[in-house]
Amino acid sequence: MPEVTLHEIKLREELEPLCRIAASAWQNDPLFSWLFPGGQTHPEDFLILWKIILDMEFLEPGKFIFAASIYDAETQTNKIAGFAVWERRGDSEAARRWQGTSFSKKLGRLNLSLKLAHTVTLSPARRSFSRKKFKLLDEEVESVRARQPKESWYLNFLGVDPTAQKKGVGKRLLQWGLDRADEEGIAAGLEASNAGVKLYQSAGFETTEWMNFDDGKQKQSVMRRECKLRSPYATC
């Protein structure tokens, strides 16, 4: 098993390889196929979608993006093989320490809002997605997360390059957030596609409810791992 190393993404310019991994990793995902029906026909549009998603995640307070690299013997360099977006949720003093923001990120969020408005109204990429489905999914996600422990570490995304599967990349990315949750004595949560359930179960997550989409015809597991240690903010 190759060694997997993590580094936190500090600059938006570092997101580029992660966008390509995401577009590849979620290419045949049921939820994204429903949300972005033109992604198969126009893969370049799917890449634009992921650039917007990861830009939004990068600029939000309390969210941390990590890239995982493995050593490539052919090029003798570390190659980025996956990424994860972890979020510290809550309003405790401990949560606020993680959620520190900056003026530059606030300005970035404003600029990104304008970019998103352009994409959904004028960009050619608008041909590939449904604004109605985006709204429905956003409402469902908000509803699901509102029922999760208020103080928690939440895994918003975890993607692995299809060529780097079963090399410990996903496990390493997952462990970062679990370590933080254990340090604070709070729960960890996530929404899981069918492809990811086995990994999360092996780490102690259990399904607590379902997140529905496609008019209830499809669903994803909403999973939680109860805290291992106690703290003043523990909810489990």
Has residue 210 got a pLDDT over 60?
yes
**pLDDT tens-digit readout, 96-111:** 999 876 545 555 555 6
CA 216 to chain centre: 22
Helix 43-59 × helix 16-25 angle, to 10°? 120
- Tell me how far apart the alpha carbons of residues 64 and 158 are, in angstroms, rounded to a whole number: 12
Quote the number of domains for the chain: 1
Within a domain: 123: yes
CA angle 25, 26, 31 (to 5 degrees): 160
| 202 φ/ψ angles, rounded to the nearest 5 degrees | -65, -20
- What mean pLDDT comes out for the span 77-103? 90
Residue 196 has pLDDT above 50, yes or no: yes
Provide the domain limits for residue 80: 4-225
Backbone angles phi, psi at 169, to 5 degrees: -70, -50
β-pairing, 187-192 vs 152-160, is parallel
Residue 143 within a domain: yes
Q: What is the pLDDT of residue 93?
A: 93
Whether residue 38 has pLDDT greater than 80: no
pLDDT band at 202 (very low <50, low <70, confident <90, very high): very high
Q: Is the residue at 36 inside a domain? A: yes
* Model confidence pLDDT, tens digit, residues 9-24: 999 899 999 999 999 9
Model confidence at 114: pLDDT above 70: no
CATH of the domain at 132: 3.40.630.30
Q: Tell me the three state secondary structure of residue 177.
A: helix
> pLDDT per residue over 149-193, tens digit each?
999 999 999 999 999 999 999 999 999 999 999 999 999 999 999
Note whether 188 and 181 are within 8 A (CB). Answer: yes
Spatial separation of the C-alpha atoms in residues 121 and 62, rounded to whole Å: 30
pLDDT interval class at 223 (50, 70, 90)? very high
Residue type, 83: F
Q: Who wins on pLDDT, 232 or 95?
A: 95
Q: Residue 117: what pLDDT?
A: 52
